[in-house]
Amino acid sequence: NTVGIVGVSVKEGQNLPGVELAPEKIRSGGLLEVIKSLNWDYSDKGDIKTENIQIQERPSKIYKFNDFKNADVIGAVNEKLHNTTSEIAELGQFCITLGGDHGCASGSISGLKKVYKDLKVIWIDAHSDCNTPETSPSGNYHGMPVAHLFGWIPDGSVPGFDWFKSCLQKEDIVIIGLRDVDKEEKTLLAKHGIKCFSMHDVVKYGIAGVMEKTFEYFRKDGVDHPIHISYDVDGIDPTVAYGTGTKARGGLLYREAHYILREVVSTGLFVSMDVVEVNPLLDKEKEYFHGDNKLIKGTETVCLAIELCASALGDTLL
Ligand code: ARG
Ligand code: MN
Ligand code: MN
Ligand code: MN
């Protein structure tokens, strides 16, 4: 079994410096050693970096969202990521995308969806990331990839994204961990009937109940579908994942964060995961022992990201 890894050293979907450092820190913290210790091979595609990316000149048309913040860079990065995740999926490898901000998810998921036509997505997040440029309070793309994947931001309306085709239907996604949703996002989620489990629901049904309901929802048509997890670490409580740019109190506990992964692994349908929004400039260095005294190093949230990858690869220590 092989894991295909791609890093997205990009921060342009939000305002704080630091998220672009995460892929490098997660690797130097011990990710590859942990992967090997779990008896997986890996194929590391390296990091997509803004300074290496070729930004194309805009076609001579006015886009509906012509002044979109950092659109050309984000669009070019996501096109590259789209091609990389679809290559990894094509080879039948488990695909891990290391963000970068959550704006990379439209690239990673659209690429995977090209290969896994019936892909389902579990979106773990304090936020629903379904703003459109018209509803966004910040103008930051990391708050919009869900809307983009659904086509709520029309194809062809954002510069840099001429290559992009919206590819998710409402029944393809379940969002877990919500507690900081903007007013207009809430209206959109309700209008389109998106399946959401807020932190209130996590307490009400327990994380086990939430996962059962999620799998039931995906199996409505009586057949199994491949599953992708888009794991925004701010879905996890700030007492556990402090190193992230848009924190919200009252999130998933450490055990719940891993429980989700364990349950998805046990379906046998898990094909890929994004781990995003880790910002190594926002929390302190730590060291944790993993398994047979293998050291993982980095900030608390970098260590957590490595542990999430371990659980996704079937580690049952966590
Ligand atoms: N809803 C806010 C916005 O649109 C925050 C989004 C945070 N997104 C994230 N991926 N951390 O700006
Ligand atoms: Mn978030
Ligand atoms: Mn907010
Ligand atoms: Mn997010």
φ, ψ (nearest 5 deg) of residue 99: -75, 170
Nearest listed ligand to the Cα of residue 127: 2
pLDDT at 179: 98
Ligand 4 centre from 295 Cα, in Å?
Answer: 29
Which residues have a beta carbon within 5 Å of ligand 4, which is an ion? Answer: 102, 125, 129, 232
pLDDT at 317: 83
pLDDT at 290: 86
Give the DSSP H/E element, type plus range, for residue 211: helix 199-218
Query: Relative to the CA of 181, which ligand 1 atom is closest?
Result: 1
**Ordered strands of the 120-124 beta sheet:** 41-49, 2-9, 94-99, 270-276, 227-232, 120-124, 173-178, 195-198
Ligand 1 centre from 55 Cα, in Å?
Answer: 25
Q: Nearest-CA neighbor of 101 among 135, 141, 146, 68? A: 141
Q: Distances from the Cα of 7 to the Cαs of 156, 225, 272, in angstroms?
A: 26, 26, 14
pLDDT at 318: 79
ipTM (interface predicted TM)? 0.96
pLDDT at 115: 98
Left, alpha or beta for 46 (phi > 0: left; psi -120 to 50: alpha)?
A: left
pLDDT at 289: 87
Ligand 1 centre from 42 Cα, in Å?
Answer: 32
Q: Nearest-CA neighbor of 158 among 260, 72, 86? A: 72
Instruction: Please state, in angstroms and rounded to a whole number, the distance separating the CA atoms of residues 207 and 147.
Output: 26
Q: Nearest-CA neighbor of 14 among 172, 311, 232, 211? A: 232
Tokens of 136: 């966004």
Catalytic residue numbers read: 102, 125, 127, 129, 142, 232, 234, 277
Residues 246 and 202 sit within 8 Å (Cβ to Cβ) = no
pLDDT at 243: 98
Residues with CB under 6 A from ligand 1: 102, 127, 129, 131, 136-138, 140, 142-143, 182, 232, 234, 246, 277
Model confidence over 27-86: pLDDT tens digits?
999 999 999 999 999 999 999 999 999 999 999 999 999 999 999 999 999 999 999 999
Instruction: Please state, in angstroms and rounded to a whole number, the distance separating the CA atoms of residues 99 and 3.
Output: 16
pLDDT at 266: 98
Nearest listed ligand to the Cα of residue 126: 2
Contacts of 179 (CB under 8 A, 6+ apart): 126, 198, 199, 200, 248, 249, 250, 251
Q: Distances from the Cα of 315 to the Cαs of 123, 259, 261, 263, in angstroms?
A: 21, 11, 10, 12
Q: Nearest-CA neighbor of 95 among 26, 20, 6, 32? A: 6
pLDDT at 11: 98
pLDDT along the chain (318 residues), means of 10: 98 98 98 96 98 93 98 98 98 98 99 98 99 98 99 98 98 98 98 98 98 98 98 98 98 98 98 99 93 88 98 92
Contacts of 228 (CB under 8 A, 6+ apart): 109, 112, 116, 119, 120, 121, 122, 271, 272, 273, 274
Tell me the one-letter amino acid at 188.
L
Instruction: Please state, in angstroms and rounded to a whole number, the distance separating the CA atoms of residues 152 and 74.
Output: 18
